[in-house]
A = this chain, B = another copy of it.
Amino acid sequence: MSEYDVLCIGNAIVDIIAQCDDGFLVENGITKGAMNLIDAERAELLYSRMGPAIEASGGSAGNTAAGVASLGGRAAYFGKVSSDHLGAVYGHDIRAQGVAFDTRPLSGEPPTARSMIFVTPDGERSMNTYLGACVELGPEDVEVEKATGAKVTYFEGYLWDPPRAKEAIRLAAKHAHSAGREVSMTLSDSFCVDRYREEFLDLMRSGTVDIVFANESELKALYQTSSFDAGLEAIRQDCKLAAVTRSELGSVIISPSETLKVDAIEIEKLVDTTGAGDLYAAGFLFGYTSGRALDDCGRLGSLAAGLVIQQIGPRPRVDLRVAAQQARLL
């Protein structure tokens, strides 16, 4: 018996979200659509220039854990916050969603991570992340019984940015595989792929990772190709299963023997793309760990992603289980 469907591991980050126009991004040297890493000083400068904001718990894998739980799956999370106000907010929000979260918080500095997210009128989000307490996540934070007890252990490529989180991932993957479980990752961001290409490929080719999530630009960055199809064929060789998202074009699921195309859902109004990939992974992994066919896993991913981009903030405020039932996916 597994205790959890999905264990997610990631940078525990509170999002600070404001609107801006494209000129603001240019003036402030923010790469549009990307996750820009910043230090404490730049965080203060950008915040002083940021418009009125709202705060919402985020973090890529944390959003995925919340999505799995909202669908009715059993989710757990590892991520490092500090014992400050934002850390308390982070813990509240993820536990209130029903996710098991027991990583010991730091007592003291650095503070809980925050990402200033600027949403442009086209709905695209540009993130500016101060990692704060996330830099302290390490192998000592791996709870063995969760890593061995989850059907899938899922982590974000962003974890290669802090210094010791990769050690935690390798340890968690070892525990998971020793218990006959599977390990999954998201490539997170094309610039992140550029930073860690060889290590990510090694994770896949060494069998440390079984299931890979990517969007089109991350796939192309991984294989340094401008051809989407070439990227698909390459990733087919490198892992057991891959799901590649393409925004309004839906997603493509790649297994050794199959190529499945899944449509995106129709949306009324694109508000904020934050969390789209995270929620796709949530829907997919919920479907996967509940034994559904791969195309149904993709449809659950499309639904969860399509709902989160029609609101501000990275975690859906609708009950995903009810939404999936209404869409006749459950």
A interface, CB within 8 angstroms of B = 18-19, 47, 50-57, 66, 84-86, 89, 92-94, 96-97, 311-313, 315, 317
| The one of B19, B56, B96 that contacts A55, using a Cβ cutoff of 8 Å | B56
A97-B52 contact given A85-B84, A92-B47, A317-B19, CB 8 Å threshold: yes
The minimal Cβ–Cβ distance linking A95 to chain B, given in whole angstroms, is 9
How many subunits of this chain does the assembly comprise? 2
A119's nearest neighbour on chain B, judged by CB, is B317
Closest 6 CB pairs of A and B: A55-B55, A85-B85, A52-B93, A54-B56, A52-B96, A52-B97
| Chain B residues within 8 Å of A93, by CB | 52-53
A84 to B18, CA, bound (A): 21
A19 to B47, CA, bound (A): 28
A54 to B275, CA, bound (A): 15
| Chain B residues within 8 Å of A56, by CB | 54-55
The answer to whether B19 and A50 have CB atoms under 8 Å apart is no
Q: Which of A47, A53, A86 gathers most chain B CB within 10 Å?
A: A53
The minimal Cβ–Cβ distance linking A254 to chain B, given in whole angstroms, is 33
| Chain B residues within 8 Å of A53, by CB | 89, 92-93, 96
Q: List 26 A-B contacts (CB under 8 A).
A: A18-B96, A19-B317, A47-B92, A50-B96, A51-B96, A51-B97, A52-B57, A52-B66, A52-B92, A52-B93, A52-B94, A52-B96, A52-B315, A52-B317, A53-B92, A53-B93, A53-B96, A54-B54, A54-B55, A54-B56, A54-B313, A55-B55, A55-B89, A84-B85, A311-B312, A312-B312
The minimal Cβ–Cβ distance linking A54 to chain B, given in whole angstroms, is 4
The minimal Cβ–Cβ distance linking A98 to chain B, given in whole angstroms, is 9
A237 to B164, CA, bound (A): 71
A317 to B123, CA, bound (A): 13
A319's nearest neighbour on chain B, judged by CB, is B19
A315 to B53, CA, bound (A): 10
The minimal Cβ–Cβ distance linking A137 to chain B, given in whole angstroms, is 22
Q: Which of A18, A54, A85 gathers most chain B CB within 10 Å?
A: A54
A16's nearest neighbour on chain B, judged by CB, is B89
A317's nearest neighbour on chain B, judged by CB, is B19
The minimal Cβ–Cβ distance linking A285 to chain B, given in whole angstroms, is 19
